[in-house]
Structure 1
């Protein structure tokens, strides 16, 4: 729930901020540039989503348009929506100016026709590698796909999804978005241990929640930890973030921001310290009022923001504040044996094996990101 509570914190600032909830999933799952294969064999679902014509450019255009109101734009989204799954070679999305590959000639993926990320280039983008889809593939090798829909690219020589595009990649860039667009955003990262996020996501892909979410298969390649780490490392390499870690300031080059990573458990244990630290990093004035959203208008805003991903956010919609978790309810590490038994009792023997494999495939990436976390 913490990942959506972060968004609700900033949704309380309607006077000076606009919050956009997971826009890039529209292009990733449903549009003509889709990377995900979840709905590849379900054209009806893609059309009924209302996003079957969404491209990465139409989403950036919307962000730019929202920014014209003069308010700061906060985007809560998931890292893997920008990265081809299963370790596939990235290429720049055609709608974002990706150059067509010339036979026998390597080009550098210029960014003609690219739109600005927001008015005056001051969009506050937040990427999130937690539960609502994440990639169980570690470095493109571990994990298997639990979906009957197959994978992107080709199957037996037959192309099954729009990706791979016939466009060039940018050297080193793991995403389908040109670096010049990525530079328009101030990225922060919210992480959660896979032992919590993976079972939570599994629950959204089985009865009764699957009828709400429309996700009828668990796909380990939607875990997102590998993709989040690769985006994170690329932004560091490009000096878009770092080298200083949030709260431990060092020398930053012009245009850089400090490395800002937040662990969901830290947020739930001490929300005031973590949110106020986050505000300092992104240049916002913190107010304790941000931790409460108990008015009818607050609730209406939350329902409208989360409704397109029904079934994933019910706990967040029903919440009214972000208070420190009771010490008795703090997450305490359990042994592998205890976890396995709990998952076996809740979901069955086969499910327990898949959950464990997916958790194990992502721990290293989580622990890597954890080493950069904000200290409350």
Structure 2
């Protein structure tokens, strides 16, 4: 919201293909063609989304993409394969360019070899994933799940047009993608601010040459709200940005104009952010609650039936959250 002079922000682009386009993986609007048409993204494919990102990058600024990882997966752990538009278009282009660079003839060129990526859990070929610098933002499901639920009931539901779907919690997909990136060298072995977690073989500079990935950068939302300045500075150091304390304040009219434009297609989900003017450190850390206290709170706000749904989703996703939290930055 503050760095629009140097950073081109792209907000949740892959949701266009995931929900609305001909390659859609979500069943949310499967029987609602009118909603898909009204979205303006009914023809969006994963390939066209990537082409849009390339156009944004052509403006000379560094591109920052905030997205939800489950947009790259078939829901409910169903088998996921490379998206057709990436296999036949973008992937083909990349394989052809790579082949030409290695002196291959036209007869040797072939479409992107999806069968060669059985370990890749996403719709995106590894060659494309190498173009990105992945970082991860996580939040305790005790807070993220009821926050999401609130957006799927009146009055916000009239704006978001979303019903509650526990499969959209997203922690399982995030963990699987994280592990794939880590195991294949696209992130790691170093962990931002965590030398204690660096693998022994990575401590020697000569050994680092075998790794091609960026260091692992995981931000926990609670840590961010406890120490926003220190966490944003550590994040900037990890991803190669120049830290500026003014990043924490977005009270200019142009900042809100940019944010309103970026958030417009997901109306209702970002109202709190749009009504804010910056990141302020909490005066006190969040007080711990017992599981019983959470249940009482959710029941009071949403009713017992909804509280039971929230509880079930939280329990299902806590192991993945706690796994990822092991790698969270510390300041």
> 1:76 — aligned with what?
66
Give the count of matched residue pairs.
302
SS at match of 1:18: strand
Rounded to whole Å, the distance in 1 between the matches of 2:137 and 2:116 is 27
By percentage of residues, which structure has more helix? 2
Which segment drifts farther, 203-212 or 331-340? 331-340
Q: After TM superposition, list the pairs within 5 Å mapping 1:41-52 onto structure 2.
A: 41-52=31-42
Rounded to whole Å, the distance in 1 between the matches of 2:290 and 2:235 is 32
Q: After TM superposition, list the pairs within 5 Å mapping 1:1-376 onto structure 2.
A: 11-97=1-87, 111-114=91-94, 170-215=117-162, 217-249=163-195, 251=202, 252-253=208-209, 254-327=211-284, 330-376=285-331
Q: 5+ unaligned residues in a row in structure 2: which ranges?
A: 96-113, 203-207
Superposed CA offset, 1:125-160 (max 9, x none): xxxxxxxxxxxxxxxxxxxxxxxxxxxxxxxxxxxx
The alpha carbon displacement at 1:183 in A equals: 0.7
The alpha carbon displacement at 1:168 in A equals: 5.2
Contact 1:260 1:281 in 2 (8 A): yes
Rounded to whole Å, the distance in 2 between the matches of 1:311 and 1:283 is 32
The alpha carbon displacement at 1:348 in A equals: 1.2
SS at match of 1:243: strand
The alpha carbon displacement at 1:98 in A equals: 5.5
Q: Do the aligned partners of residues 169 and 339 (structure 1) sit closer, same or farther apart at CA in structure 2, a change above 3 Å counting?
A: farther
Rounded to whole Å, the distance in 1 between the matches of 2:160 and 2:313 is 20
Rounded to whole Å, the distance in 2 between the matches of 1:113 and 1:84 is 24
Q: 5+ unaligned residues in a row in structure 1: which ranges?
A: 1-10, 100-109, 116-166
SS at match of 2:65: strand
Contact 1:92 1:169 in 2 (8 A): no
The alpha carbon displacement at 1:248 in A equals: 3.2
Superposed CA offset, 1:266-289 (max 9, x none): 001100000000000111110101
The alpha carbon displacement at 1:326 in A equals: 2.2
Contact 1:90 1:169 in 2 (8 A): no
Rounded to whole Å, the distance in 1 between the matches of 2:5 and 2:128 is 26
Rounded to whole Å, the distance in 1 between the matches of 2:94 and 2:56 is 17
The alpha carbon displacement at 1:114 in A equals: 4.6
The alpha carbon displacement at 1:113 in A equals: 3.0
SS at match of 2:92: coil
Q: Do the aligned partners of residues 247 and 219 (structure 1) sit closer, same or farther apart at CA in structure 2, a change above 3 Å counting?
A: same
Root mean square deviation of aligned Cα = 1.6
Contact 1:96 1:114 in 2 (8 A): no
TM-score w.r.t. the length of structure 2 is 0.88
Rounded to whole Å, the distance in 2 between the matches of 1:18 and 1:48 is 26
Which segment drifts farther, 344-353 or 247-256? 247-256
